[in-house]
Structure 1
Amino acid sequence: MQAQPDSVSERARPAPRTLVGESWDVGHECGTSSVETGQEPVRGYVALTFDDGPTPETLPSLLDALVTAGARATFFNRGDAAEAHPDLVRAQRDAGMWIGSHTMTHPHLRETGEREAFEEMNRAQQALQRITGEWPPLFRPPFGETDERVGVLAARLGVLEVLWTVDSRDWAGATEDEIVAAARTLRPGGIFLMHDWARASVDALPRIIGELRERGLHPGRIDVSPCPVPFGDTPFHATAVAP
């Protein structure tokens, strides 16, 4: 399939990572946010996301944990890993998970030429479409590294660029307890970054989901946010909504 036309309007593009514990309230309408009253937190949705897969050593137990909890998550798959393990991508789909792309080989997109960056993104999209039968609607740049050029390429491909509001730091060796603690800072509309190869995140998942539900929050899907979501010095435009 050829790249789709410019069907997504250009959005502001994030640059640096967020820090653990940083989170923002996100509403469906600009200017609306949740408020902690000290009693019952406002009910809402958050997005649990997993990058870099599919990983054969951990994905089956990760999917089991999600299905057992009755929860859904978004998987940002690498194209090369998807081609190596198409059965695992189909397992994600069949379990009711949402699937996005994470480039073909996980490069630093800001350091690549425009043609190479586009091919990295487009090849991953095409690989996942061949496996699932659907054009992935979501894209996450590796390392959270993006700029205006990457944003324009995402728009050309007709995909929503998705960053995060809270970083689990599982990629930096965060423990299960630290990952659960980071998830406690999620607010309605928030997006939680994890990786499907990180055993600590897999092990933390039942506690994360349980604690979220105790706060009136539930795993949801990712959609366009009409208002900007802070990410370092620049915003992005994605939020968690009802499944």
Structure 2
Amino acid sequence: MSYERPDGHTFSLYLSGGAGTRRLDGGPDARGRPGVLCIMPQGHSSEWEITDFFEFVHLYVPDDQMRRMFAETFDRDARLMALPEMTFADAPALALRLRQMTEAMLAGGHLLAEEAMTQAINDLFVDPRYGGMRARAISGGLAPHVRRRTLDYIEAHLGETIRLQDLADIGQLSAFHFQRMFRASFGVSPHGWVAHRRVERAKSMLSGMDPIAQIASACGFSSQSHLTRAFKLGTGVTPSAYRQRQ
């Protein structure tokens, strides 16, 4: 099997299986297994032998987005970015972020998935094996007017998909630096804050007669089960049990 990626960069995390997968064109004499990573930079091509089933997740990042994130995170010229090619590599921190991203996307948690993705890019380049860089230092949290505008935006869009970059744009920051400064300001991640506010809105709506599925949609949850998981995590009870107590 041939793999070519002329545009953009590919991150692949093996979730299960992989023993029947090996690279044929000069890569390491190894086989896939759960938890290992392959990184295929833009322009990459390779030959593979696949003789068994396996499960993995692919993350595709356009080159311009990757370079912008690199420049904003490390305060370096984007042209200096050199993405390493990796085949069946052990990189636990990066693998954890990609797994978190996958689980968040499957659960409908787009904001959490974006946070995991931006953190994954940082984890890659700070790894001593792949650059050993340090993210640009931050001093303090968000400016007061940015805090107010950010919270106002969140409240106005709780029933919609909230994107990390949309929040970062309010303060004209990169997604990665916005995450760090938001946590410095409020003590939680953007996803943590949004999840809390959505649960609080759901609690207020449960005093009425609206169906729980309708409440889930109005509060920005992807489904009733998504609301139930988040609600129980935040309150210790399900929405139905909470309503019965009112």
Structures share fold, TM-score greater than 0.5? no
Larger proportion of strand: 1
Over alpha carbons, which structure has the higher Rg?
A: 2
Larger proportion of helix: 2
TM-score (norm: length of structure 2): 0.25
